[in-house]
Amino acid sequence: MADKKKMSVADILAAARKSDSTQGEASAPSGEPESAAAEPSQAAEKAASESPADETAKPAAEKPAAKKPAAGGARMSVADMLAAARAETEAGAPSPKSEAKKAVPAKPAAKAPAAKEKPQPPKEIAPQTASILAAARAGQKAGPMSKAEAAAKAKAAPTKTPAKEKVAVPPMPEKPGYARPAPAPQRQVDQGRRATLLAVLMGSFLAAGFTAMAATFGMWTLGLARFMFPNVLREPPTRFKVGFPTDFAPGQVETKFKAQYGLWLVNGEYEGQSQIYALKSVCTHLGCTPNWLEAEQKFKCPCHGSGFYKDGINFEGPAPRPLERYAISIANDGQLEIDKSKTFQEEMGQWADPTSYVPA
């Protein structure tokens, strides 16, 4: 069974090359393969007569015999030898080499009963090797060859590179004006201006920021200083002099003290007596400031229409009572002196108080 071991492609190639190298020597022992080939054919016929099921052995035994070169005939190529070897392998027949080594190679095949052993399906050839062989037979591709043959073939067929055809390229259209880059000097000038503008802006921003911060600190300082001083009401004095009694003519209403002191100084009459008195310029209705109407000889309140006579008695409008008087007296220098800290109301009979008027 060890002799029946399937030979690999490498073994077959080695055996083929060995046979090439020893061509001269092969002519002498060529009788051995013939005899060896004859023996397998006889063994195959014997096995076929014993077992009709083993029909595959018969063509397999006939194949190598048909492909074998006759003694002294033409030399087989490597492709033919490979094909013959594979055909033998597929048929399960022993190779010529194994037959040459063994005296009776067909004996194990004859001994093996075909009925007992199951028929083995033909082993598939490696697809790569099969494709190479098929291409070599069709003449499309060279079959296996030695390195020396390959080098000689490469030298005989120099490689030629096809000349490249020149492709006519149309000229590119001219760039539009907006796509052209600006000239370098102008760009540098612009960049310089931009940098200067940025520096000025940044400087102005910093200056504005520092100015605002300084102003804020200044305001805080002023507020702190104001906080350190107490709040004082700056009011006019309650006692003041308004002039001599002769400065005011009889029947005159002096209005120049209304804005500053809030009073009218009147040289008039009250209950048939000529007096100089100071009327408070505040309406007794809701506190508005009435006006003196010289033509009508009355005080008229603009808010709700209350009217007062020259002596201060109310006569129209919603005012409920007469105007009030301030205290008045003759100072040491002979001037009229007003004291606003003291008031007199007519409805309470206070106008009879001698401090509420100066006899004219």
Residue 358 contacts ligand FES per CB under 6 A = no
Nearest to 323 by CA among 355, 290, 295, 293: 290
Q: Which is nearer to ligand FES, 89 or 306 (CB)?
A: 306
By CB under 6 A, which span of 165-173, 174-182, 270-278, 312-320 interacts with ligand FES?
A: 312-320
Hey, what are 131's tokens?
Answer: 């494709």
Q: How many Å apart are CA 130 and CA 136, to the nearest integer?
A: 10
Nearest to 345 by CA among 310, 314, 300, 306: 314
Closest approach of ligand FES to the CB of residue 291, in Å = 11
Angle subtended at Cα 308 by Cα 259 and Cα 338, rounded to the nearest 5 degrees: 45
By CB under 6 A, which span of 18-26, 239-247, 313-321, 328-336 interacts with ligand FES?
A: 313-321
Q: How many Å apart are CA 151 and CA 45, to the nearest integer?
A: 46
Residue 285 contacts ligand FES per CB under 6 A = yes
Residue 306 contacts ligand FES per CB under 6 A = yes
By CB under 6 A, which span of 11-19, 194-202, 296-304, 352-360 interacts with ligand FES?
A: 296-304
Beta bridge partners of 59: none
Q: Left if phi > 0, otherwise alpha if psi is -120 to 50, otherwise beta: which for 335?
A: beta
Q: Which is nearer to ligand FES, 223 or 305 (CB)?
A: 305
Q: Which is nearer to ligand FES, 276 or 323 (CB)?
A: 323
Residue 279 contacts ligand FES per CB under 6 A = no
Contact 271, 349 (CB under 8 A): no
Q: How many Å apart are CA 155 and CA 149, to the nearest integer?
A: 10
Closest approach of ligand FES to the CB of residue 287, in Å = 6
Residue 317 contacts ligand FES per CB under 6 A = yes
Q: Which is nearer to ligand FES, 95 or 306 (CB)?
A: 306
CA end-to-end span of the chain: 171
By CB under 6 A, which span of 30-38, 86-94, 270-278, 311-319 interacts with ligand FES?
A: 311-319
Residue 114 contacts ligand FES per CB under 6 A = no
Contact 357, 277 (CB under 8 A): yes
Residue 245 contacts ligand FES per CB under 6 A = no
Among 219, 304, 320, 348, binds ligand FES (CB under 6 A): 304
Catalog residues that contact ligand FES under the rule CB under 6 A: 283, 285-286, 288, 301, 303-306, 317-319
